[in-house]
Structure 1
Amino acid sequence: MTNKVADAQGVYFSGQLQSEAQLENNLIAQLASQGYERVVIENETDLLANLKRQLEKHNKTVFSDNEFSKILNHLNKGNVFERAETLRDKFNLKRDDDSTLYIDFIDQIEWCQNQYQVTNQITMEGEYKNRYDVTILINGLPLVQIELKRRGLELKEAFNQTNRYQRHSFGAGAGLFQYIQLFVISNGVNTKYYANNRKQSFKQTFFWSDKDNKAITQLESFAKSFLEKCHLSKMITKYIVLNQTDKILMVLRPYQFYAVEAIIDKVKNSVHNGYIWHTTGSGKTLTSFKSSQILTNLPNVDKVVFCVDRKDLDYQTAKEFNSFSEGSVDSTDNTQKLVKQFGDDTKLIVTTIQKLNTAIMKERYKSAMEPLKDKHVIFIFDECHRSQFGETHQRITEYFNHYQMFGFTGTPIFAENVASNKLGKRTTRDLFGECLHKYVITDAIRDENVLKFSVEYISTFKQHDIVQDLEVQDIDTKEVMESPQRIEAIVDYIIANHERKTHAKEFTGMMCVSSVETLTRYYDLFKVKKEAGEHNLKVATIFSYAANEDDKDADDSIPEETTDMSGKTVNLHSRDKLESYIGDYNDMFGTKYTTKDSRSFYNYYNELAKRVRDKQVDILLVVNMFLTGFDSKPLNTLYVDKNLKYHGLIQAFSRTNRIMGDKKSQGNIVCFRNLKQATDDAIGLFSDKNAKDTIIMEPYENYVEQFNKALEALRSIAPDVASVNDLASEEDKFNFIKAYRELMRVYNVLATFTDFEFEDLAIDEQEYADYGSKYLDLHDSIKNDRQKEKVSILNDVDFELELIHRDEINVTYILKLLGQLKDAPEKEHEARKKNIIDMLSGDVGMRSKKELIEKFIHENLPEIQNGGQVEEHFKQFWKEQDQTAIKRICEEENLDQEKVQKLISSYLFTEKLPYRDDVVETMNKKPKILKRKSVSQRVLDQMLDYIKTFIDGAPE
């Protein structure tokens, strides 16, 4: 603990060394008492020697040096994901005597039958020398890394530290630290875990909990439960998912773990059914996948059938399942194929309720299905409360003799919200039996697995007036609700506020309305106003054009709409309208979809879903479609002009509450109907009546108060902007960073409110931005210090830079200001110029371009005749500077310019950082092996800086 390596612990503030060292020593002692062998490993030499001994012990053999060298060579291949696959596979070792032996790296069947060790302070030297806190070794491989911070420091700093280790030293030597499966971070009081996934944000780190969702945060309690040897290896071998699409590791959260365990227990030890109540947005697909995957491996299970309730979800669910395990699911396109899968060796089937009904009802499938009657078939139902499910349930129970069925739902049917069908009133419990595990929306918000809702009620009954007055909303007649004046007022409101709600379209919105007829009125008006130049929003829509597809307000369910129109009576007017709207979509995106071909309409649905997820559509206008079962992280705003109740309301609201970075602080719900009581009732039913404050954001005034309190705290550290320069100690700078970051967090929420004005705050906009400039100055200076390997409390502080990006500021906006500057009277020039420079200094996205824009102002602007010529001259200037910059990098580093530009193009297309060898390939003179890592990193950093300056946000 006394050596000063890059991440030596306890150097942050004087007098704090012992507390962190004690935390580490106590943990190691506890793990030793739990059966871990304590071992001293100082460096990679010790690590390799220990690995050899442990693999010999695990495989009950002895390896020669030559044989162990072959094993190491096998292990030292691939990235983190590929090594996770290697860990779970066996290696066919050719021995010195020419015999072969399969080497097992971890026992996945008898997961307790592995070798467990704990060590600390292993020093690895890669780009920098790093020393890691506590490492858990299983069969000699470092599979769990625990990073500790002294009490009082933020967990996020430990998270950032592990990310830095990944960059600096985990790949050093034989790269054994790239076998890490799980990270654990703790400051003693709070402890979290997460999978080894470089793409992961701090938002995807998890507290462990007990079966009742009570968080286990203290390190001692966490170690006792989560780090118990058998549990830990069970998590690694059974509950880490290798996502084949993104090539990342994903680990189940505690409530997902308990749900899967409960289902497995039912199948192994009973003939009973059950259901899982996990709130919408909490990851039911991953839970159901892991349940299905483990069930297919049980010897007493013949088939696992995952049922969804419409063709659209069939495609989506199969795609998601296959992303978890490539080829694990063969989605059934028709009933014939489903029947074939029932008869062949397909163990896991994804199908729709409709096709399952057909398979067990139709006479032509009787002979093929008959042999399955006595097989042990497990049915898993996604969103098990669907209205038509009652009949399916009955047919399954009558047809199969040895079945079990399990349902997943975020919004169960209780006596309070049960609807009647011809089979009577049946709750989720009536259909499935007991609730096996519960994780409600209050649990998810508390654990930061989903976001709160910010609900605003907007009255639009006074023509073109936006009046927030709930009293007038007693008027609820069809004539008033669908009046042209009201619809225009709502469209005008959305046009005026959409950028505010979505942080300048960094996120997207959806609007749900009461009927297809109303939808067409909204769509047509958005289109007219766009053609008139009143907005530039990309609006798209989809709806079913079957007859009688409007809402039934008496029922709290959202009626199912489908792209499968076979056998349905078509509303020709609706179909013609939709065909026209799809034509607009085709013009917008260069596609050729149509409703006249069922396959084309289905493909339109799927592509539209993708474009919404990719933020290529600003507002998706729907009646019912997409309000259930659709996940899109960038969707943060829902405009509501329809009556919603109970689970229909929660389902619709929950489209907005997926976690996505720091800037997405809540799901915005803008209600143009008085849904206040309905919202309160739904919250009471699906959590408890006192949960409103947990689920709904506070009023605007409360956030103003929070902001002003945070401002007081900031000014107690730096009374004015200039005083930031006088902060001498690292502790003072650290406190300023934390204080301004808290201010930004509250401002980020405030800025989405319709009522927001800077005049309500105890600071003006310019001073707030000036503090932001100083905040960024500190970030830049710390970044440069990091490159010098300085040990500092500031090394791992998270600046949350996405919060300091001002939505409206981009190159186009600055060009507009430059044009105004050119045409302004001489006496205003200096003030306007300072305003532009201040904007550039205070915005993280524009800071890299500041020097160039200043150069343009000083050298080029005086030669331009008027403001109208600024854009053309600036683009020419930008192009010249771009070429100069890339040429300079290539000359300084002796690079092949053509290869560099190809590498940059590849990176922009794939969004994947190039491998070190790819960077080296651009060099005309290859550096020596020992210097390749540092040189290639330096070159890559220059390329990324170039992209940040000249390509990200460049003038179009």
Structure 2
Amino acid sequence: MPTPSEHKTVQSRILAYAGAIGWAVVPREEAEKRRAGFPTRHSLHQCNGGQECPPSVSPNSPLSLFFDDLLDAKVREFNPRYSEAEGALLGQFRHFHADIYGNREFVEHLRNRGKFFDHEEKRERDLILIDYDNPERNVYEVTEEWAYHNGHYGTREDIVFLVNGIPVLVIECKNASKDEAIALGIDQIRRYHRETPKLFVSQQLFTATDAIGFSYGATWNIVRRNIFEWKDGAPGHLETKVKSFCAIPQVLAFLKEYIVFAEKDEELNKYILRQHQTGAVDATVRRALDPERSRGLIWHTQGSGKTFTMIKAAELLFRAPGADKPTILLMIDRNELEDQMLKNLAALGLGNLEHATSITRLNKLLRDDYRGIIVTMIHKFRDMPAGINTRPNIYVLIDEAHRTTGGDLGNYLMAGLPNASYIGFTGTPVDKTLYGKGTFKTFGCEDDKGYLHKYSIADSIEDGTTLPLYYQLAPNDLLVPHETLEKEFLSLAEAEGVADIEELNRILDRAVNLKNFLKGRERIKFVAQFVAGHYLTNVEPLGYKAFLVGVDREACALYKQALDQFLPSDYSRVVYTGNNNDSVLLKKFHLDQNQERQIRKSFGKLGEQPKILIVTEKLLTGFDAPLLYAMYLDKPMRDHTLLQAIARVNRPYENEAQEMVKPHGFVLDFVGIFDKLERALAFDSKEINAVVKDIKLLKSLFRNKMETIAPEYLGLVGQNFNDRDIDNLIEHFRDPERRKALFREYKEIEMLYEIISPDEFLRPFIDSYTTLSAIYDVVRKAYTKRIQVDREFQRKTSRLVQEHIGSYGIAEVQQVVAIDSNTIAVINARSGGKTTKVINLIKSIEKIAEDESDDPFLIAMAERAQAVKESFESRQTTTAEALEKLMQEIETDEARKKEQAERGFDGLTFFVYRTLLDEKIEHAEEVSRQIREAFVEFPNWKKSDREMRELRKKVTFAIYAQSDDLDRVTGIVDNLFRLLEKANRI
């Protein structure tokens, strides 16, 4: 049975679903006519002595990235005073930079913040492109096969959605039967960005789907950690996902509200708010405007984008008609967040924005009834007069509400603004000790389950927003004695539910015996030696960085001195707040603001020093460094402070160039806190189970998989990987479902190995694991094409395989042979079965097509070889039949070389000639020479839009003179240029 095509299984269905929710489906041919540009928009133009020129080769059709007529008409409808000439706006758009900055500029226009000059009134006006207030006035269209060529590269997007003639959303469709289908789709989106960036000046969103998964993201941000799965319905419910994600109100909301640009480390980034973020924003605005309720608690776990959620909620609330010129206080708890918060708010284009830098300034703004957004900190409310502003449309959004509103400061705040609405945001759940009081009572009192909106740790890990955490206890002789830890920390009532690290420090200051043990000079030396060894063996080989958390500032200084005995001094730096009265030892590691800023920046960069930061308070909250992988914990913590601290290591990280994908975060506990996990983290058990796991559990899981799953695969190799073994493996895994099962199981086992290694526990499994890795390597090389989002091996496994693979004497799966007159003889003479020969021939044809990519014959042959491969894998073709077809391809290619030489044709002319013969076009030789002359006439067709258009026109009419079937001719020309463009791209 033939496999379903990409178009039938996905593309056509999406078009149908889009049509059902209000998008007008525009056939490809009609779309191409409408992209022809202003000179030909009403009729076909004349060319070649009065003959009508086919619309598919209209000179302007490759240029336009819009439906020009519709865009111009809607601009004039929405802007009655707009009087520029036709095409003026499109010309302006074409001058936007083809990068993220041009994309940001286009977003501003899509949000109606562009400008045009009103010549009658001699002033600027806002340029309206989309009517968000009356969405029925807009035109919503969808089309397929959206082709574009920039003179160097050609791109054809599967499905494009347009609003008022402007492409805003692209969907890349893949067949679910292909391995890594969505990954391939996303890889194509990446290629489009590299090769035809002009497409993504106006396009804001992309999705990739295989009818089972539905991944989405924002253009110009195509790293894996920022590509998400749309959650609406079970996997495979394509109709549900399309009708929710592509719903007209949803697309308009994305365009108008939920795409955010922000600078980080002087680099512009683009983000799309995810479903949990938009849900919280909507809930916040609704609650704030609810006349009956004025409290709400939002728990979005650490690292899930809480800051952007708050900023967007503040913006929408400020602009909400029902808010009636409100005052919005954005309250944060750290100085370093203020500047970033202000920059991000300013980027939204908000004019009414104030920074309350002092208590006096905050009091004045509230007393003067300021309307707008105020960024401030909770301590600025100290001693604030009661009732300083009693207006009800004051909305207070409070970051880290579990600690910022405790005690007197919260009382001052709520007494000063008695009628305000308060929405608390927290990155940690409410712990068991606080239900019915504190944060829960203050903010969660008006919701049945305590939360206005919730995005839990488990949700975050499932979505890939954050990574799972694993812990390991240090050797017993380095752990704090249990009695001391229990008496001076765990059993103290005042240590329960502590949310503020300064309060934690005060508790620890009274734990004299505990601190003396932790800072014992001999112990510090042994811990430093252990940390150095563990980092060099376990962490540095992966490319990641680490925190060493000391009990106080003195401990940090002592650890720095000790660590320098075992590691180069530039490996580590100390970061803490210095005081004028500090000892000589503490002052030795004081930093000024510039030094600290540079250390933070360098720590976040791959390959730069320092690799280890020694901290005790600073950086344990709010510091995001995705390269941070390991935390060496030597400070007693619990509940909120512990959760916040270990969350530093759970940020996803990937680096395509280095093939790094961070699998998890790791905590090595030198205190013994995790030995009493249920007391250290007094939250609901289902939350704790998602937070952090003992590495012992992973060892049990690894053992189970190696003893129950691995033997099935290991049994497939009986001759130490000789030719017969290789052939058997390739034949066995010919079934795509078997391959998927192997890849899935192996990647789980590999991940476990990477987490556990190095560890003596693994010694009995090394041989079997290496053999399993070799089996995976053979099958992967035989059947998959490497793509950016797929990794061969993780780093530790890669080293292991490199060290041991030679001992197996594995026959090379990809024994590439030269494609020439000797190929068939070489293949027949080689050892190995027919299955391996099929794979090697396919790989060889693919390689020569890449190496000699200017030869369209080889590109076409590689496509036919791929078709043979797909037929072979689906068992529509036997091994012998597949081998015979590939041999025929080799013979045909040799025959064409001879005929080409005999006729004296160059490669291009002969390729055109053979194409025309195959299509039964009369006078093929004469027509091919005419086409060759056209290519000579336009030598820069690969780089020039104008020459490309003229060349296509001449090629089309050379063929059209021998056939009056325009559709057929257009198809021949499209396929001809597709192969030529593909050859150029490779």
Fold-level match, TM-score > 0.5? yes
Q: Matched residues in 2 for 1:93 and 1:799: separation?
A: 47
1:135–1:635: structure 2 CA closer, same or farther, 3 Å change rule? Answer: same
Q: Does 1:51 align with 2:67?
A: yes
Q: Does 1:261 align with 2:259?
A: no
1:306–1:94: structure 2 CA closer, same or farther, 3 Å change rule? Answer: closer
Q: Matched residues in 2 for 1:429 and 1:652: separation?
A: 25
Equivalent in 33, 41, 49 of residue 28 of structure 2: 41
- What is the one-letter code of the residue matched to 1:357? R
Q: Matched residues in 2 for 1:731 and 1:45: separation?
A: 47
Partner of 2:441: 429
Q: Contact 1:634 / 1:660 at 8 angstroms: preserved in 2?
A: yes
> Unmatched 5+ residue regions in structure 2?
38-65, 489-512, 655-659, 815-937, 946-985
Q: Matched residues in 2 for 1:833 and 1:18: separation?
A: 39
Equivalent in 600, 603, 609 of residue 600 of structure 2: 609
The within-5 A match list for 1:713-752 is 743=746, 746-747=749-750, 749-752=752-755
Question: Shift of the alpha carbon at 1:429?
Answer: 3.0
Partner of 1:871: none
- What is the one-letter code of the residue matched to 2:573? A
Partner of 1:357: 382
Equivalent in 81, 86, 102 of residue 68 of structure 1: 86
Equivalent in 609, 613, 616 of residue 623 of structure 1: 616
Q: Does 1:498 align with 2:530?
A: no
Equivalent in 459, 466, 473 of residue 443 of structure 1: 459
User: Is the deviation greater in 253-262 or in 515-524?
Assistant: 515-524
The within-5 A match list for 1:391-430 is 391-414=408-431, 416-417=433-434, 426-430=438-442
1:429–1:117: structure 2 CA closer, same or farther, 3 Å change rule? Answer: farther
1:333–1:682: structure 2 CA closer, same or farther, 3 Å change rule? Answer: same
Q: Does 1:756 align with 2:759?
A: yes
2:548 is paired with a residue whose SS is strand
Q: Contact 2:224 / 2:789 at 8 angstroms: preserved in 1?
A: no
Q: Contact 1:160 / 1:796 at 8 angstroms: preserved in 2?
A: yes
The within-5 A match list for 1:179-194 is 179-194=202-217
The within-5 A match list for 1:545-624 is 572=581, 574-582=582-590, 593=591, 600=592, 602-614=593-605, 616-624=609-617
- What is the one-letter code of the residue matched to 2:439? T
Partner of 2:941: 930
- What is the one-letter code of the residue matched to 2:625? S
Q: Contact 1:207 / 1:216 at 8 angstroms: preserved in 2?
A: no
1:209 is paired with a residue whose SS is coil
2:297 is paired with a residue whose SS is strand
Partner of 1:288: 310
Q: Does 1:83 align with 2:103?
A: yes
Question: Shift of the alpha carbon at 1:763?
Answer: 3.1
Partner of 2:551: 514
Equivalent in 273, 295, 316 of residue 273 of structure 1: 295
2:92 is paired with a residue whose SS is helix
> Unmatched 5+ residue regions in structure 1?
1-13, 420-424, 546-564, 583-592, 594-599, 779-791, 815-830, 843-926, 935-944, 946-956
Partner of 2:251: 232
1:134 is paired with a residue whose SS is strand
1:28 is paired with a residue whose SS is helix
Equivalent in 268, 271, 276 of residue 247 of structure 1: 268
2:541 is paired with a residue whose SS is coil
Question: Shift of the alpha carbon at 1:48?
Answer: 5.4
Question: Shift of the alpha carbon at 1:684?
Answer: 6.5
Q: Contact 1:683 / 1:692 at 8 angstroms: preserved in 2?
A: no
Q: Deviations over 1:833-880 (max 9, x none)?
A: 999x99xx99xxxxxxxxxxxxxxxxxxxxxxxxxxxxxxxxxxxxxx
1:35–1:623: structure 2 CA closer, same or farther, 3 Å change rule? Answer: same
1:696–1:381: structure 2 CA closer, same or farther, 3 Å change rule? Answer: farther
Partner of 2:163: 138
Question: Shift of the alpha carbon at 1:445?
Answer: 0.9
1:408–1:426: structure 2 CA closer, same or farther, 3 Å change rule? Answer: same
1:535–1:401: structure 2 CA closer, same or farther, 3 Å change rule? Answer: closer
TM-score normalised according to structure 2 size: 0.65
> Which has the larger Rg?
2
Q: Does 1:454 align with 2:470?
A: yes
Q: Deviations over 1:535-562 (max 9, x none)?
A: 56622223346xxxxxxxxxxxxxxxxx
1:685 is paired with a residue whose SS is coil
1:79–1:328: structure 2 CA closer, same or farther, 3 Å change rule? Answer: farther
Q: Matched residues in 1 for 2:552 and 2:687: separation?
A: 31
Q: Does 1:106 align with 2:130?
A: yes
1:760 is paired with a residue whose SS is helix
Question: Shift of the alpha carbon at 1:287?
Answer: 0.8
Partner of 2:19: 32
Partner of 2:864: none
Q: Matched residues in 2 for 1:441 and 1:579: separation?
A: 39
Q: Does 1:304 align with 2:337?
A: no
Q: Contact 2:174 / 2:209 at 8 angstroms: preserved in 1?
A: yes
Q: Deviations over 1:389-435 (max 9, x none)?
A: 3322222222225422211102244552479xxxxx52333246442
Q: Matched residues in 2 for 1:703 and 1:115: separation?
A: 56
Q: Deviations over 1:629-657 (max 9, x none)?
A: 22111111111122222222211111100
Q: Contact 2:468 / 2:690 at 8 angstroms: preserved in 1?
A: no
Partner of 1:948: none
Q: Matched residues in 2 for 1:302 and 1:740: separation?
A: 55
1:832–1:754: structure 2 CA closer, same or farther, 3 Å change rule? Answer: closer
Q: Deviations over 1:328-376 (max 9, x none)?
A: 9665544455556665978333222122436x35xxxx9xx96x55373
1:721–1:318: structure 2 CA closer, same or farther, 3 Å change rule? Answer: farther
1:733–1:93: structure 2 CA closer, same or farther, 3 Å change rule? Answer: farther
- What is the one-letter code of the residue matched to 1:378? Y
Q: Deviations over 1:161-186 (max 9, x none)?
A: 22223334x44xxx455422111222
Q: RMSD over aligned Cα, in angstroms?
A: 4.7
Q: Percent identity?
A: 20
1:703–1:330: structure 2 CA closer, same or farther, 3 Å change rule? Answer: farther
- What is the one-letter code of the residue matched to 1:451? L
Partner of 1:389: 406
Question: Shift of the alpha carbon at 1:279?
Answer: 0.6
Q: Contact 2:297 / 2:425 at 8 angstroms: preserved in 1?
A: yes
1:832–1:254: structure 2 CA closer, same or farther, 3 Å change rule? Answer: closer
Q: Contact 2:9 / 2:211 at 8 angstroms: preserved in 1?
A: no
User: Is the deviation greater in 30-39 or in 797-806?
Assistant: 797-806
- Matched residue count: 732
